[in-house]
Amino acid sequence: MRFWIENTPQQVNKEISLYGWVDSRRDHGKIIFIDLRDRTGKVQVVFSPDKKEVYELSSKLRTEWVIEIKGIVKARPKSMENLKIPTGKVEIEATGLKILSEALTSPFDLSSDGKDVKEEVRLKYRYLDLRRERLSKNIVFRHKIIKFIRDFLSDDGFIEVETPILTKSTPEGARDYIVPSRLEPGKFYALPQSPQQYKQLLMVAGLERYFQIARCFRDEDTRGDRQPEFTQLDLEMDFPTQEDILSLIENLFKQLVEKIYPEKKIKEFPFPRISYKEAIEKYKSDKPDLRKDKKNPDELAFAFVVDFPLFELKKEEKKWGAVHHPFTRPKLEKDETIEQLIERIKKDPGKPFADQYDFVLNGYEIGGGSLRIHEPKLLEAIFEILGHKPEDITEKFGHLINAFKYGVPPHGGIALGLDRIVMILEDEPSIREVIAFPKTGDGRDLMMNAPSEVDDKQLKDLHIKTLKS
């Protein structure tokens, strides 16, 4: 069983074996000291000349070499304790040493937080960059956040379901990443921008409460809080009110912060509900930062923005577009029928409001959702207003509309950007700092050298030719 460095203070006067990386080395006269590092922390190891064979081997050690240490855990003298680290009251008197792997000199200093190193260099050697304490902590806390979410939702009756990565291209928002089919030349899959249609189909299937830690893909320009591929918490439930979904999310995040970030303070609970109109007029933003002190990262000002317009006019294209997405449910007026709603929307698409809500935190949009349309004729009418021809609606969305004819419950949900949430909670300037292997700002993987060309045989198998620019 592997013994972790963080547990060494409980093993005083016992001989143990440790594995890890040489974090630093110091020669003090005849005594050699190293700090040994694993994922859980660091501990000081002492090599004395009276253990001749081990001592001579230790003289070869360099930083980032991977080693196995056998030694006796000793309490350090009070005057020699290092109270800055959890293991600072003990040290290891080495009785055995194995060099498991030597290492080249790192292209940058791993003992700093890395902010002084060019990002291109850090991303090229990301496997080294992740060794630094700041990055390792980010990944560990990302895991803790996702585990908490999984446990919370599972305990509340939600079922985690994986949905396909290879799916159908539909005109919903950003550009799709498309994948050619070898077996059906000239046809393509698309990588999902979100599991939107699948989660609605799971409601048709009667699973009632679904969630997923979902990988999503969008071929769009990147920036500090965006990536070509990203991770979201995706959930859907049947027979909900808007308040059912909002209260679920606020309770999830209240408990998450209390459990994982007890040092942080939630500004207001329950989280405020702010209308879109008020947000724009009062805060000049649909993702307002409600903190009293905007420079204080330990203050968390969660809020929901509600009462969005259903449509917005796309001036460049001179047509109406969905503010959220076309599956968002319009708000019904009192005693209004679906037929009357359709007539009202067609008469003036700019007036109806949507059962849509955004989730914001400290000036960032961290999620969005809505109650969904579950009536086939209303969904078809929305697509027509958005400029889709009947034959296109059948081609692109016929599977969903047909499914709704077999008994679909009213349903709704929300999707939350996990990368962005971890970024804010860890007080990082970019989501690239909380993703293990991110792309650059322009979508490149410098470590793997992707995207890259493929050979002619692969292209021939896929019936594809490339055009030289």
What does the pLDDT read at residue 82?
94
CATH 3.30.930.10 residue ranges of the chain are 127-434
What does the pLDDT read at residue 316?
74
> Which DSSP string corresponds to 23-68?
EEEEEETTEEEEEEEETTEEEEEEE-TTSHHHHHHHTT--TT-EEE
| Beta partners for residue 18, in sequence order | 69
Report strand pairing: 411-417 vs 319-322. unpaired
The CATH code of domain 127-434 reads 3.30.930.10
What does the pLDDT read at residue 319?
81
Compute the distance between CA of residue 69 and CA of residue 44 in angstroms, rounded to an integer.
Answer: 11
CATH class of 5-101: mainly beta
| Beta partners for residue 99, in sequence order | 67
In tens, the pLDDT along 267-310 reads: 999 999 999 999 999 999 999 999 999 999 999 999 999 999 99
What does the pLDDT read at residue 222?
64
CATH 2.40.50.140 residue ranges of the chain are 5-101
- In this structure, how many other beta carbons lie within 10 angstroms of the beta carbon of residue 149? 21
Using the 8-state DSSP alphabet, how is residue 19 labeled?
E
3-state class (DSSP) for residue 371: strand
Query: pTM (2 decimals)?
Result: 0.93
Output phi, psi for 165, to 5 deg: -90, -40
User: Which amino acid is residue 248, in one-letter code?
Assistant: L
Q: Which residue has the tokens 């692969």?
A: 458
What does the pLDDT read at residue 223?
67
User: Which amino acid is residue 32, in one-letter code?
Assistant: I
Compute the distance between CA of residue 310 and CA of residue 106 in angstroms, rounded to an integer.
Answer: 54
Compute the distance between CA of residue 76 and CA of residue 74 in angstroms, rounded to an integer.
Answer: 6
- Please list, in sequence order, all residues whose beta carbon lies within 8 angstroms of the beta carbon of residue 169, skipping any fewer than 6 positions away: 176, 178, 188, 189, 190
Structural contact between residues 412 and 236, judged by C-beta atoms closer than 8 angstroms: yes
| Residues in the chain with pLDDT values less than 70 | 171-173, 222-225
Compute the distance between CA of residue 15 and CA of residue 93 in angstroms, rounded to an integer.
Answer: 9
User: Which amino acid is residue 145, in one-letter code?
Assistant: I
In tens, the pLDDT along 25-77 reads: 999 889 999 999 999 999 999 999 999 999 999 999 999 999 999 999 999 99
What does the pLDDT read at residue 325?
87
Beta strand segments in 158-298, E: 159-160, 178-180, 188-190, 209-217, 229-238, 265-266, 273-275
Using the 8-state DSSP alphabet, how is residue 115 labeled?
T
- Please list, in sequence order, all residues whose beta carbon lies within 8 angstroms of the beta carbon of residue 16, skipping any fewer than 6 positions away: 3, 8, 70, 71, 73, 92
Angle at CA 333, nearest 5°, toward 330 and 336? 100
Using the 8-state DSSP alphabet, how is residue 237 labeled?
E
Report strand pairing: 41-47 vs 31-38. antiparallel
Neighbour-count burial of 457, counting CB atoms closer than 10 A to its CB (0-12 exposed, 13-18 middle, 19+ buried) = exposed
What does the pLDDT read at residue 174?
79
Compute the distance between CA of residue 416 and CA of residue 372 in angstroms, rounded to an integer.
Answer: 17
Q: Which residue has the tokens 């259903």?
A: 310
Compute the distance between CA of residue 346 and CA of residue 354 in angstroms, rounded to an integer.
Answer: 15
Residue 36 tokens read as: 């040994």
Radius of gyration over alpha carbons of the chain, in Å?
28
